[in-house]
């Protein structure tokens, strides 16, 4: 699955993608979601977001990826809405982040019952 948003001129602003293995892993191991953003490390000057967790063998599971334009609440809300749709509306119980205020606001809006 891939979802994207673009400007009126057709310029890519945000992109979320994941595959069936990501979805299956999330359904089994998605109670705790770790959300990491890597800053401006690609040639398109987008933030790389990695959704991950841990399986029953304590191995890292990847649940999805995104490239986002900025760290605004509206951007994170778009991203988390698409992630939630991808996971068939299964919200995590716990979300681990770096404490970004815009991200915390989006988590409160989209993952209503999650502890952050």
pLDDT at 70: 93
pLDDT at 26: 98
* 116 within domain boundaries: no
pTM for the full predicted model = 0.92
* 48 within domain boundaries: yes
* 82 within domain boundaries: yes
CB 69 within 8 A of CB 11: no
Q: Which structural domain range is residue 12 located in?
A: 2-110
For helices 73-86 and 101-110, give the axis angle rounded to 10 degrees.
40
pLDDT at 38: 82
Q: In a 10 Å sphere around its CB, with 0-12 CB exposed, 13-18 middle and 19+ buried, how is residue 22 labelled? A: buried
pLDDT at 41: 63
Q: How many domains does the chain have?
A: 1
List the chain residues with pLDDT less than 70. 40-42
* 115 within domain boundaries: no
Q: Tens digits of per-residue pLDDT, 16-42?
A: 999 999 999 999 999 999 988 887 666
């Amino acid at each position: 699955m891939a979802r994207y948003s673009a400007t009126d001129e057709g310029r890519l602003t945000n992109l979320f993608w994941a595959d069936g293995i990501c979805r299956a892993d999330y359904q089994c191991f998605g109670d705790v979601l770790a959300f990491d953003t890597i800053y401006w490390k690609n040639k398109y000057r987008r933030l790389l977001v990695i959704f991950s967790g841990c399986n029953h063998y304590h191995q890292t599971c990847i649940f999805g990826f995104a490239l986002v334009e900025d760290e605004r609440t509206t951007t994170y809300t778009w991203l988390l809405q698409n992630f939630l749709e991808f996971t068939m509306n299964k919200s995590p119980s716990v979300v681990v982040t770096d404490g970004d205020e815009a991200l915390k606001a989006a988590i409160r809006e989209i993952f209503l019952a999650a502890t952050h």
